[in-house]
């Protein structure tokens, strides 16, 4: 299965991870025209919030891509979430990672 990796703002990652957002929108631009021309539906879309090694990320299956020229956006329809990393689903926030070389309080 084909895979595209891109970045996403935290508010939208939170909604997708919680399965409340079923469609991801991207502007119609040559960049996305080219990226989407190389993949076949269905495909995996890996969405990362930031560039850090431990950045929160969600991987989803895209079942349909619609080009809406009127709004100037691609609508990427999410079939399902297949993986959530570095994100606490219950608290809806990034997982807390202990810093190397630091001790945690264990009271």
Structural domain contains residue 16: yes
C-alpha distance from residue 2 to each of 62, 71, 106 (Å): 10, 26, 45
**pLDDT score for 36:** 98
Question: Residue 91: what are its φ and ψ, rounded to 5°?
Answer: -85, -15
Reported confidence tier of residue 104, pLDDT bands at 50, 70, 90: low
* Residue % of the chain over a pLDDT of 90: 89
Across residues 37-61, what is the average pLDDT?
A: 97
Q: What is the pTM of this model?
A: 0.87
The number of folded domains in the chain is: 1
Structural domain contains residue 97: no
Reported confidence tier of residue 102, pLDDT bands at 50, 70, 90: low
Structural domain contains residue 99: no
CB 44 within 8 A of CB 61: yes
CATH number, domain at 81? Answer: 2.30.130.30
Reported confidence tier of residue 7, pLDDT bands at 50, 70, 90: very high
**pLDDT score for 96:** 82
């Amino acid at each position: 299965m084909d895979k595209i990796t891109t970045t996403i703002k935290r508010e939208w990652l939170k909604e997708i991870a919680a399965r409340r957002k079923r469609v991801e929108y991207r502007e119609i631009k040559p960049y996305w025209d080219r990226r989407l021309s190389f993949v076949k539906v269905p495909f995996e879309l890996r969405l990362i919030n930031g560039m850090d090694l431990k950045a929160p990320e969600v991987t989803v299956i895209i079942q349909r891509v619609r080009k809406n020229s009127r709004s100037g956006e691609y609508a990427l329809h999410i079939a399902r979430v297949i993986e959530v990393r570095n994100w606490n689903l219950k608290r809806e926030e990034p997982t807390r990672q202990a810093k190397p070389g630091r001790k945690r309080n264990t009271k």
